[in-house]
Chain A
Amino acid sequence: MKPKVGVFSFTSCEGCQLTILNLEDEMLDLLGAIEIVNFREAIDERGHEYDVAFVEGSITTPEEAEEVREIRERTKILVALGACATLGGINAIKNRHDLHQVRRKVYGDGAHHFPTEATQRVRDVVPVEYEMHGCPISKREFLQVTKTLLLGRVPRPSPHAVCTECKTAGNVCLFDKGICCLGPITRAGCGAICPTYGGDCVACRGLVDEPNLASMIEIMKSKGMSRQEVEDRLTQFNTLEPVDLEPHFSS
């Protein structure tokens, strides 16, 4: 019997499930291996029990927290999908501000109709077997993780930094072009797709297990970045991993 898979979406741009839908070349093989019983953007039919639930998005309302707990109860394996789900991502930027003001700014006078809470990662609400990082997730990693789960084991995240994949690809280092890139401290797995196309890494896959932030901050400073710029870069996707900049910028 084919494993039953559900894909669920919370606060996010839903780009990660689009990534799955965009697996045109592999989709038929994928559907040969799994049975998708719930996919918000693809089919309506609702299954009840899942072997694997892919959960995209962050948890930002009490209703979402409730729903993800229910998904957790109904699935054997829960995979958090994408930066919103694994890091809080862009959604967590609001946590740096007064949430009342955030609501008013976004919804104006109707703010009281829209309850919102501080953004949480999926793992802040329920246990998660695997966190598939990225904004959006990488097709390749999605396929690899799915195959690994189908073989009955939970994969391990890459221990390497994005630099490793970037070097392997033979790219010109962005630092050599005067661009500050977070590749040295960001978890690999994306195939260094942004640097390969000339864009700096923004750490959308979260940081490596033991990031040397002190050294990275000094490097960013030496490139002329201000405290605010360093903070903005380091927290763009990683607000929930606070960094103490004080020792580096107190004169």
Chain B
Amino acid sequence: MKTLVLSKMDVPGLVEALGETARLIGPRKKEHQFVFGQITKPEQLALEYPTTILPPSRQLFPNDEPLVRLRLDDVAASREIVEGEKTILLGVHPCDVQGINILDEVFSDSPPDANYLTRRSQTIIIALECQAPCSPYNLCFDKGTYRLEWGYDLLMIDLGDRYFVFTRTGAGEELIGDLPFFRAATPADREALGRARETQAGSFKTRLAGPVNRLPNALKEAYDDLLWEAVGRRCLSCETCTNVCPTCYCFDVADEVELDLVNGTRCRQWDSCQSCTFAEVAGGENFRPRPSERQRHRLFKKEVYQYEKYGRSACVGCGRCSAQCVASIRLNEMYNQVLGG
């Protein structure tokens, strides 16, 4: 691991240099909010952003992703589409890096998903630590996702006029290579880092009424609680909570046909366990017909099922589902309700 320093004055130069080596994706302003998008000019980059509408993990798992090239007249002519190009994700917050780590685990699990992994294997992540929580709904302090141990190639920490930069992987070091924008960190930089980290730690607070490691059991005990009914009454089944989640990966597959009625593409679309038809079988039986059951499933998938399978939660505490819910369904409130605040 190397410790380096990047002056904020040099960020535009860095953006141009990185843009020449790969497709550069970073936070951009959209109206009064932010989105991850391609950065072709330094002024598009908005590194000082609270959060984005969609998480950066969606860049690796795009909606309407082509999977198979089809010939309607010849099934034997079906050809796989596995795409990926060298991509740099710049300015990814720690919770969102953890979101990508979780998708990595899910899509690497047997049988591995070549479409995701091919794209992922060509992606470099430059993480950016947050200095303060971005919304009242963050659970990143409780979840321990406000800082990062792994899962990134480079990590930047804001020191005011400059960024402290950790390299984590060979790919990260290679990316920096001989770029003139970085210098070795000095004792003064390290001291500044220490102070920044102290301020940062003071600004993040516990939001939950109990420790997060109690969530799996607390939720299981609450399986038949009226809480779900109460949430279900408000839920609009609009699927926003899952679409904005960094770790949701459910999908549907559908064929698109060209007007020649000969060529087509089998594509993968984001889908959601909150959709009223998600668990419906062809015969019409619906195994999760009620919004209350679907909301419960969402939380259980994050905190119970993935905990049992992978030994970790699949909620990174980013707060997007709560912040963007039109019906004001708040994950932190529900967690507190089951933790028995």
Residue A65 lies at the interface, judged by CB distance under 8 Å to chain B: no
Min CB gap A218→B, angstroms:
8
Please determine whether B240 and A170 come into contact, CB atoms closer than 8 angstroms.
Answer: no
A-B contact count (CB 8 A): 103
Q: Is A208 an interface residue (CB 8 A)?
A: yes
How many chain A residues sit at the interface, stated as a range, is 35 or more
Is B259 a contact partner of A167 (Cβ separation < 8 A)?
Answer: no
The complex places the Cα of A160 from the Cα of B243 at a distance, in Å, of: 12
Residue of B nearest to A166 (CB): B240
* Contact (Cβ within 8 A) A29 B276: no
A212 touches B235 (CB 8 A): yes
Pick from A26, A164, A184: contact of B326, CB under 8 Å? A184
Question: How far, in whole Å, are A210 and B238 apart by their CA atoms in the complex?
Answer: 11
CA distance A3 to B275 in the complex (A): 35
Q: Determine the distance from Cα of A185 to Cα of B235 in the docked complex, in whole angstroms.
A: 11
Q: How far is the CA of A36 from the CA of B54 in the complex (A)?
A: 43
A167–B261 CB distance below 8 A? no
Q: Which of these, B233, B238, B259, B270, contacts A26 with CB under 8 Å?
A: B259
* A167-B239 CB under 8 A given contacts A172-B32, A173-B326, A177-B31: yes
Tell whether A183 pairs with B261 under 8 Å between CB atoms, given A208-B276, A214-B233, A219-B326.
Answer: no
A212 nearest CB neighbor, chain B only: B236
Check: B35 CB closer than 8 A to any chain A CB.
Answer: yes
Partner of B259 from A30, A177, A211 at Cβ < 8 Å: A30
B275 close to A160 (CB less than 8 A): yes
The closest CB in chain A to the CB of B236 belongs to A184
State whether the Cβ of B100 lies closer than 8 Å to any Cβ in chain A: no
Q: Is the CB of A33 within 8 A of B236?
A: no
Q: How far is the CA of A170 from the CA of B37 in the complex (A)?
A: 10
Residues of B within 8 A of A167 (CB): 53-54, 239-240, 243-244, 324
Residues of B within 8 A of A219 (CB): 326-327
Which residues of chain A come closer than 8 Å to B33, judged between CB atoms? 172, 176
Is B201's beta carbon under 8 Å from chain A? no
| B243 lies within 8 A of A168 (CB) | yes
Nearest CB in chain A to that of B289: its residue: A210
Q: Does B108 contact A (CB under 8 A)?
A: no
Known: A215-B233, A215-B327. A150 touches B30 (CB 8 A): no
- Cα of A170 to Cα of B55 in the assembled complex, Å: 10
Q: How far is the CB of B255 from chain A (nearest CB, A)?
A: 9
Known: A30-B259, A33-B261, A147-B261. A168 touches B270 (CB 8 A): yes
A197 at the interface (CB under 8 A from B): no
User: In the complex, what's the smallest C-beta–C-beta distance from A156 to chain B, in angstroms?
Assistant: 9
Judge whether A161 is part of the interface by a CB distance below 8 angstroms. Answer: yes
Q: Is A199 an interface residue (CB 8 A)?
A: no
Chain B residues 231-277 with CB under 8 Å of chain A are 233-240, 243-244, 256-261, 270, 272, 275-277
Q: Please give the distance in Å from B325's CB to the nearest CB on chain A.
A: 10
Number of residues of chain B lying within 8 A (CB) of chain A: 35
> Residues of B contacting A212 with CB < 8 Å?
233-237, 291
Give the docked Cα–Cα distance between A26 and B260 (Å): 11
Across-interface contacts of B259 in A (CB, < 8 A): 26, 29-30, 32-33, 143, 147
Given A160-B239, A208-B237, A215-B233, also A147-B291 (CB < 8 A): no
Please tell me if the beta carbons of A147 and B257 are within 8 angstroms of each other in the complex. yes
Interface membership of A163, Cβ < 8 A: yes
B78 contacts A by Cβ under 8 Å = no
Residues of B with C-beta under 8 A to A29: 259-260
Query: In the complex, A148 Cα to B294 Cα: how many Å?
Result: 31
Residue A63 interfacial (CB < 8 Å): no
Query: Nearest-CB distance from B339 to chain A (Å)?
Result: 25
> A170 touching B30 by the CB < 8 A rule?
yes
Chain A residues 114-167 with CB under 8 Å of chain B are 143-144, 147-148, 150-151, 159-161, 163-164, 167
Interface status of B63 (Cβ within 8 A of chain A)? yes
Looking at the assembled complex, report how far the CB atom of B261 sits from the nearest CB atom of chain A, in whole angstroms. Answer: 6
Q: Which B residues lie within 8 Å of A183 (CB)? A: 238
Contact partners of B233 in chain A: CB under 8 A: 212, 214-215
Min distance, Cβ B70 to any Cβ of chain A, angstroms: 12
Question: Which residues of chain B are near A185, meaning CB under 8 Å?
Answer: 236, 238
Query: Please, which residues of chain B bring their CB within 8 A of the CB of A90?
Result: none
Bound Cα distance A33, B256 (Å): 16
Which of A33, A147, A218 has the largest count of B CB atoms less than 10 A from its CB?
A147
Chain A residues near B324 (CB, 8 Å)? 167, 173, 176
Complex contacts, B235 vs chain A, CB 8 Å: 212, 215
Nearest chain-B residue to A222 (Cβ)? B328
CA distance in complex: A151, B260 (Å)? 11
A26 and B237 CA atoms in complex are apart in Å by 35
Q: How far is the CB of A28 from chain B (nearest CB, A)?
A: 9
Can you name 17 A-B residue pairings with CB atoms under 8 Å?
A29-B259, A30-B259, A33-B260, A148-B257, A151-B72, A160-B272, A161-B239, A163-B239, A164-B238, A170-B37, A170-B54, A172-B32, A185-B238, A208-B276, A212-B291, A214-B233, A215-B327
Add 10 more A-B contacts to A32-B259, A147-B257, A163-B238 (CB < 8 A).
Answer: A148-B257, A150-B261, A161-B239, A163-B236, A170-B30, A170-B53, A184-B236, A209-B276, A210-B276, A212-B291
